Amino acid sequence: MVLPTWVYREMEDRIGFTLKNCSGIVDLKRIHGRITVLSMSQSNFLTTKLVGICGANGEDHYAEKIFKHMEEPKNTFLYNAMVRTYTQCNAYPKALKLYKQMMDFVSLSPDRFTYPFVLKSCTALHLPDLGRQVHSQICRRGWRSVSVVENSLLEMYAKWDHLNEAHALFDEMYERDIVSWNTLLSTYTRLGNMKKARTLFNSIPHRTLISWTVLISGYCSIGCYHEAIEVFHEMQLTNTKPDDIAVVSVLPACAHLGALELGKWVHTFCEKNKLIRKTHVCNALMKMYSKCGCIDQALQLFNSLSSKDVISWSTMISGFAHHGQATEAVEAFTQMDVEPNSITFLALLSACAHAGLLSQGLQFFRSMMNDYGLRPSVEHYGCMVDLLGRSGMINEAMEVIIAMPFAPDAAIWGSLLNASRNYGDLERAITATEMLADLEPDESGNYVILSNVYAAAGRWDGVCKIRKMIRSQNTKRNPGCSSIEVENVVREFVAGDDSGNTQLIEISGILQLLTMQETEKIDDFENWDH
């Protein structure tokens, strides 16, 4: 029986409302069965709704069956829903194939809802030629001026690191919204071009929290921690409230600079704003406290976690290792209720190396490969070389270096050099120094260590040779550096450098005054003694 049009439309609306409140795929299949019974499975409207819900639940195969069961003519909305579903489920080749079908039909025309997902598929499959073709089609069909399409094009070129094309597109955009600015900003920060990123950031008319967070993360990623903290302070002055991502971005800077007061402020902020309940925030705070020398606060946070992931355990074990508490690190490992990863074992091996736990370290290294199927990285081998070297097993450490499946780095040869110095192995020290000369030709400290080994062995000819080499190569030793946090501002002091310190005269005056007072105290004491 053919239903009157108004009845059919009313039933479509009712079922569409039911689908809108669909709770999951089981509920969806029940409603789909009802649609089939009512002979409404050829409704473009209902089929589009069904396909969209399948995509949101990761059911692209079920959506495909619904789509193929639908007879022609299918409208653009249905094709868009299917392209979006394929893209959401990472079935990118199928999404592009369906887009090609759309282009072949005269009755169908891709619109602004089609292109963002087609461009995302091109990006994911890294198909620059196809991406440029789609770009041309967008321009010919008049969708170039639509903001969401322009931003999708910008993101495509940015993710491919095609900066010239991305910037040219950005400059020609009809309307730059905050998404456009942040997309280009994140590209420069990801590539480490912080000078360009800062210039772009300063040009953003209305910065959002994402803009600030991207810049902070970018500075941290290249080790510019002072700049990261400065940007965080600037953000505070604008009354922009940090979220969990923002605080996690700035905490590495606090950790590396020892900016404990700022770290404590972030901790208090997280507690007041309920961010402390998030595991990844707690993990970042734990790492910050550990690196700032506050292992007790890190442990307190760790114990307060209701749900500990592998990062939580690895961070705590690494904290114990950093503070020389190898026994606590091993004990924490035995209590883990989640499977460890390579970072966990790196922290564990580091703890064993610093505490000289040779047998346990060797056992953990074997367990990592045999019990957990983890492939050691150069850092894991470095810990083993350090562990064997500290235990005086120089030959065994050299055997590990030779057996490594990849080239040893400067840290490994440095560990061997230090071990050779401590145990007077001149031959291994020379070998390590020769390797370091290729990897770190400007690092004079390696030559100084070798010179000390020669001196300890009474080889003064070798000492003279090394000193001449240092002078002839004009190598320079890295100056000493220290920092202090005053009123949430970290100030850095480098030995022999007064160019960046405008308060040097005042500091020198205070030091002289303190020295004079100390001298007077000593004179008074000597006079009293007589």
Q: What is the pLDDT of residues 87-105, one digit of tens each?
A: 999 999 999 999 999 988 8
Give the chain's end-to-end CA distance (angstroms, integer).
123
Which of helix, strand or coil describes residue 186?
A: helix
Residue with tokens 């060797």, as numbered in its chain? 362
Which of helix, strand or coil describes residue 302?
A: helix
Q: What CA–CA distance (Å, rounded) separates 428 from 76?
A: 72
pTM for this entry: 0.79
| 8 membership: H or E segment, kind and range | helix 5-20
Q: What CA–CA distance (Å, rounded) separates 382 from 416?
A: 9
Q: What CA–CA distance (Å, rounded) separates 383 from 393?
A: 14
Least confident of 204-208, 230-234, 459-463: 459-463
Give φ, ψ of 78 to 5 degrees. Answer: -65, -45
Give the end of a domain, one of 287, 304, 321: 304
CB 361 within 8 A of CB 349: yes
Query: Does residue 522 register a pLDDT over 80?
Result: no
Residue 403: inside a domain? no
Q: 502 falls in which pLDDT band (50, 70, 90)?
A: low
Instruction: State which residues form the domain around 505.
Output: 498-530
Q: 309 falls in which pLDDT band (50, 70, 90)?
A: very high
Q: What CA–CA distance (Å, rounded) separates 344 from 342?
A: 5
Cis bond leading into 73, ω under 30°?
yes
Dihedral, 251, 256, 257, 261 alpha carbons, nearest 10: 40
Give φ, ψ of 3 to 5 degrees. Answer: -80, 145
Burial (CB count within 10 angstroms: exposed 0-12, middle 13-18, buried 19+), residue 371: exposed
pLDDT of residue 491: 61
pLDDT of residue 361: 94
CB 102 within 8 A of CB 110: yes
Query: Does residue 212 register a pLDDT over 80?
Result: yes
Mean pLDDT over each residue of the chain, to the nearest integer: 87
As a whole number, mean pLDDT of residues 126-151 equals 93
Q: 469 falls in which pLDDT band (50, 70, 90)?
A: confident
Q: pLDDT tens-digit profile of 335-345? A: 999 999 999 99
Q: 444 falls in which pLDDT band (50, 70, 90)?
A: confident
Q: What CA–CA distance (Å, rounded) separates 107 from 97?
A: 17
Tokens standing for residue 243: 């979220």
Quickly list H helices, 41-177.
Answer: 44-56, 60-69, 76-88, 92-104, 115-124, 128-140, 147-159, 163-172
Give the end of a domain, one of 259, 282, 304: 304
CB 394 within 8 A of CB 425: yes
Residue 418: inside a domain? no
Q: 497 falls in which pLDDT band (50, 70, 90)?
A: low
| Number of compact structural domains in the chain | 2
Give the end of a domain, one of 304, 322, 337: 304
Query: Does residue 493 register a pLDDT over 70?
Result: no
Tokens standing for residue 349: 């091996």
Residue 212: inside a domain? yes
Residue 131: inside a domain? no
183-199 as b/e, with b when 16 or more CB fall inside 10 Å? bbbbbbbbbebbebbbe
| 111 membership: H or E segment, kind and range | none
| 276 membership: H or E segment, kind and range | none
* 8-state DSSP, 491: E
As a whole number, mean pLDDT of residues 116-145 equals 94
Of 17, 65, 71, nearest in space to 39 by CA: 71
Burial (CB count within 10 angstroms: exposed 0-12, middle 13-18, buried 19+), residue 284: buried
Q: What one-character-per-residue DSSP string does 353-421 give? A: HHHT-HHHHHHHHHHHHHTT-PPP-HHHHHHHHHHHHHTT-HHHHHHHHHH-SS---HHHHHHHHHHHH
Q: Which tops the pLDDT comparison, 241 or 105?
A: 241
CA neighbours closer than 13 Å in the CB half-sphere of residue 249: 26
Say which residues have a Cβ less than 8 Å from residue 221's Cβ, sequence separation at least 6: 189, 190, 192
Q: What CA–CA distance (Å, rounded) separates 113 from 80?
A: 7
CB 145 within 8 A of CB 111: no
Residue 161: inside a domain? no
Largest separation between any pair of C-alpha atoms in the chain: 123
Of 177, 219, 179, nearest in space to 198 by CA: 219
Of 290, 292, 283, nearest in space to 248 by CA: 283
Q: What CA–CA distance (Å, rounded) separates 440 from 430?
A: 15
Q: Which tops the pLDDT comparison, 473 or 308?
A: 308
Q: Which tops the pLDDT comparison, 10 or 101?
A: 101
Of 32, 34, 38, nearest in space to 50 by CA: 32
Residue 226: inside a domain? yes
| 179 membership: H or E segment, kind and range | helix 178-190
Residue 244: inside a domain? yes
Residue 132: inside a domain? no
CATH number, domain with residue 254: 1.25.40
